[in-house]
Chains A and B, each alone.
Chain A
Amino acid sequence: GQQVMQIPQYQHVQEGEDFTTYCNSSTTLSNIQWYKQRPGGHPVFLIQLVKSGEVKKQKRLTFQFGEAKKNSSLHITATQTTDVGTYFCAGSGAGSYQLTFGKGTKLSVIP
């Protein structure tokens, strides 16, 4: 079945440093979504990417979808303590009604 791998599993950064998490799929994806889960909370939808090579920005967050639609990345510029949490990518293949989640990257920000 479809597998979505996400790295790194953990990332500790000093406040103000940049952060990137990477997502790779074993199969071509029709779309990819990104979610953020704060400690003790539930996942919250951030964004969806659909087109090959797509880049979307939300303030300090930049999301990319690879040309082959098999990988994606989330980059945070100048991290803040409010960025703390686990970031998940989730993808679905063509014709699928299921999202397959990566294991997430847990971000810690040291003030």
Chain B
Amino acid sequence: DGGITQSPKYLFRKEGQNVTLSCEQNLNHDAMYWYRQDPGQGLRLIYYSQIVNDFQKGDIAEGYSVSREKKESFPLTVTSAQKNPTAFYLCASSLTGTVNNQPQHFGDGTRLSIL
């Protein structure tokens, strides 16, 4: 089955620690996205990548970093600079990242908490 796999499902971070969330897709999609969802809130864009080896900051990129070395993979690192990292993180992909936006397909998410 084609889809997006996020791991782990739950993650705990200690103070001052960087953690990396995994996102892998086998849909052969060019574009990938990372969103943060807080309770009662919509999805806020952290980073997005329209193509391999290229990525752009979204609305709330501070304290986060990404890489896009392979088409299938778009890992997100939550750095110690992100002071309020507790949230539900969703990875998504779309066939392309063109102006006429393609539907986005989401993974099951990673729930990150502070210890």
- Interfacial residues, chain A to chain B (CB-CB below 8 A): 1, 4, 6, 9, 30-31, 33, 41-45, 48, 50, 88, 90, 92, 94-104
Contact = CB atoms under 8 A, between A and B. Distances in A.
Contacts of A104: 42
B85 interface: no
Interface size class of B (residues with CB under 8 A): 20 to 34
Contacts of A96: 99
Contacts of B97: 97
A9 to B, nearest CB: 7
A88 B43 contact: yes
Given A9-B40, A42-B109, A98 B103 contact: no
13 contacts: A4-B42, A33-B103, A42-B90, A42-B107, A43-B43, A43-B90, A43-B104, A43-B106, A45-B105, A88-B43, A97-B98, A98-B48, A99-B104
B29 interface: no
A93 to B, nearest CB: 9
B53 interface: no
B42 A103 contact: yes
Contacts of B84: none
A47 to B, nearest CB: 9
Contacts of A48: 101, 103
Given A98-B48, A102-B42, A42 B100 contact: no
A69 to B, nearest CB: 13
Given A30-B99, A33-B101, A98-B48, A42 B42 contact: no
Which of B48, B50, B103: most chain A CB closer than 10 A?
B103
Interface in B35-65: 35, 40-45, 48, 50, 56, 58-59
A31 to B, nearest CB: 6
B108 interface: yes
B104 A101 contact: no
A104 B48 CA distance: 21
A30 B100 contact: yes
A45 B99 contact: no
Given A42-B90, A48-B101, A101-B43, 12 more contacts: A6-B42, A33-B103, A42-B108, A42-B109, A43-B92, A50-B100, A92-B99, A97-B31, A97-B56, A98-B59, A99-B45, A100-B45
